[in-house]
Structure 1
């Protein structure tokens, strides 16, 4: 496949091949969100064939774990074969095909010529691919194009045995065209880089002292940033006073009041520099006892995403919004209404 735009045509052929070969239709196509799959043409074809498309979440390749793992295994196997035997990169497609065959047919009769049990043999002298049924491998042989060493593959010499013969003219021309195109893309003199010359990447380090905010009010008042924390505390108290968060009431002698805790936090910018000191006064509500400090509990049930959508619709359509809360306590009903 030369371009991603070829995916649709190739998929149609593949889908029909699978259906004819196994006598069962394809049911689900699982893909990532690539535009070569997620397009109108592919969608219409799948709907016509009653094939469901299942897409992974964006930037979540692990949902296609099997395909991703197989891709890595195949690529690493092909790269290992080419590196170990010092083969030219023009044989990359052949190496990938060999890796796929080996993975698919381990513990079975192995062949490389489509679904047959024939082998594909490469002759570097004439740059041609040959097909043979019987091959004896010489594991000690090694192709070294840079020094002109002859590539050795041993074929049966018995007259009754089949010997390697060139493929049909059409297949040979297609193979040579593919090799020529690969040469044009990779360059005739391009080789794998020397592994001994690969250096470890440069490590960029930064001197950064981690600063932990104080855990208590006393720690904030005794820290070197006491002025910053004091300003943050005053800002928090002013906000409570302005919003009338609580009313001041007489203390009851038979009740133990709920105490509070200061929570401190520092806010950093994109450069890692501190640009704000933040303080929050939090009541420690977990000290309350049911029946003594409270009788019922309430929690919000509205999703804020839904509220934002509703407010956006009101604004866009110039509607009026009315909100009301209803509480029922001790057989007394209280209703608050507000409108905008």
Structure 2
């Protein structure tokens, strides 16, 4: 445990202080020795001495060869080295707001060190100039060095700037010890929700969420197993805004604190595909050209449909703990929002179900499904819990909606008008969709 080891505590603090270079820092620290331990962490874990020959100076420039370049285009581009990938051999490079992996490159380490040295000289020169402009600072420092005890008699200088509560605290603003409720933001905690002017609406949304948990048999209450520390949970509140800018619904969602999960213990794979926006645009163009129908549906509590393969224990949600079950914990049977494997579990469940209905998954775009029957064409696009249904036969599309509603808890939004923050306007006389 870090709190029992000063060495581990210092290593953790070193990593946290390095910000964006955290993974590279951990990668490097695991391969360097220390005074207290003779072997490196990598050698203690794998039993082999680490190979350091491939390591480069973090942040240095490098020329990386283009994967696809023509005769008139440059053969390489200048990037910044930012780390080492875990899944494959190579390096992470940054260029033009993107990070990519390449096996090798020409690293300008000497140039990086030379420029770094010049930068330090310039910085020292600027500091010297600043000291020449303000000689009074030098005199004060000399007085302090000669009479260090005078520091105790110097009065503390306090700021006269007026302090204000930041807006990020939502609608709880303290004024002279009192609390004033200002309805301008979503509550951040359960206590803020029940104390807000919209407390009844938030409580209703939380009760609806708990009903969904019960209907889907998300968990069972059990005595806490010995040696198992359950993960926590919290309420997340959101006002859903419509196209007109007004509040449509008040949503209270129970979210597990998945950051407390341990890989290999209560979760394994986490990857889940998401449809690319360009694929949605392509199918909208196809639908406009052939005058297909474009319908939209939303899956209510989508993640609750995913089945868990691991044993995951969670504390009971705040505000819904009864006296007779106060000491029990929730053993999750299905995935819940916040779990690391939640999105993957839901995607696997939906993919299994929709293929039973006769849809085929696109090999290049795994969130796009198609179904052909003679001249009848149907497409289905899944983006997490939002679904677009596109086709040329209304009875067939209606049967798809009926089947989805019988299999999952769905919300029928009718003709598609708003998806992923984009409004959809359609002029069917001109066959335009934009």
What TM-score, normalized by structure 1, do the two folds share? 0.28
Higher strand proportion? 2
What TM-score, normalized by structure 2, do the two folds share? 0.23
